[in-house]
Amino acid sequence: MSEKLQKVLARAGHGSRREMEAWIAAGRISVDGEIASLGDRVEADAKIRIDGRAIVIKTEEDIICRVLAYHKPEGEICSRKDPEGRTTVFERLPKIRDSRWVAVGRLDINTSGLLLFTSDGELANRLMHPSNEVDREYAVRTFGDVSEAAVQRLRKGVTLEDGPANFDSIKPAGGEGLNKWWHVTLKEGRNREVRRLWESQEVQVSRLIRVRYGMVELPKALPRGGWTELDMEQVNYLRQLAGLEPETRTLLGTDKHSVARAQVKGAKIRRAVRKHKTAAARPKTTRQRS
């Protein structure tokens, strides 16, 4: 049975369905020796190449849906490559065979906290779709006076440049002096929406941390720049949100060696964090052509 080309590529983890559509439109994909077009469908025995490199087509049965929770630090960008040489969120993730990690949404460069990655591009595509309203919770530190009237307006809704917006909930969470912490939730993922809502009330945001995506929380013990793989129960919670069949397999160990593997993984996380802290501190040089 044939399937849409972008769906096959996304499922195999080469990117989100939207990214694959852009690659097809740019002429980067060929099928059986011919440059592919948007709308093409492929059979299971099709020969697909990306930038001339042959790839393996995977059926739904071949894919084990894996999801990582990553603690994004400030200063990292949500792109695979950056012309300015800035650190990207993909650089610290573990290697994955014959596939790639796909980010579920984005966080801007000055926002830290929970960012999910999956090996299943179809899961990422569905979770990112605007119709899939998933609660996102943020811890926000504001600087300056925040009146009760401003808080009420943020609850009821204000008009931003791309339409009306509001927080589903907004609760004070302590702080000293002019620095106050709040916990806010919303179901949309528009660009810089949390910051823009506060800015609409002339309130400056000095820290922004995503602490929850749906029922998946940022693990308290996870260091910035560290990742952990979600268990099958959490993976299937996300798949249920996306309207996908439950996963029945996992690469997480459940035998007597699980504790040892968890310790090894924890050590890998700490080494990755140290490695990239060192790399970030090292001055970057550019090669000049004579």
Helix-strand-coil split of the chain, %, nearest 5: 25, 25, 50
Expressed in angstroms, the distance from the first to the final Cα of the chain is 56
| DSSP character string of 22-84 | HHHHTT-EEETTEE--TT-EE-TT--EEETTEE-----TTT----EEEEEEPTT-BSSS--TT
Q: Provide the residue count of the chain.
A: 290
DSSP run (H or E) holding 208: strand 204-213
Backbone phi, then psi, for 171, in 5-degree steps?
Answer: -135, 135
- Calpha distance 87→280 (Å, rounded): 8
C-alpha distances in Å from residue 187, one per residue of 35, 208, 241, 242? 39, 16, 13, 14
The b/e string for 18-54 (b: 16+ C-beta within 10 A; e otherwise) is: ebbbebbeeeebbbeeeebeeebebeeebebbeeeee
**Chain centroid, CA 127 distance in Å:** 10
List active site positions: 108
- Calpha distance 221→71 (Å, rounded): 10
Backbone phi, then psi, for 89, in 5-degree steps?
Answer: -70, -15
User: Is the distance from CB of 2 to CB of 43 less than 8 angstroms?
Assistant: yes
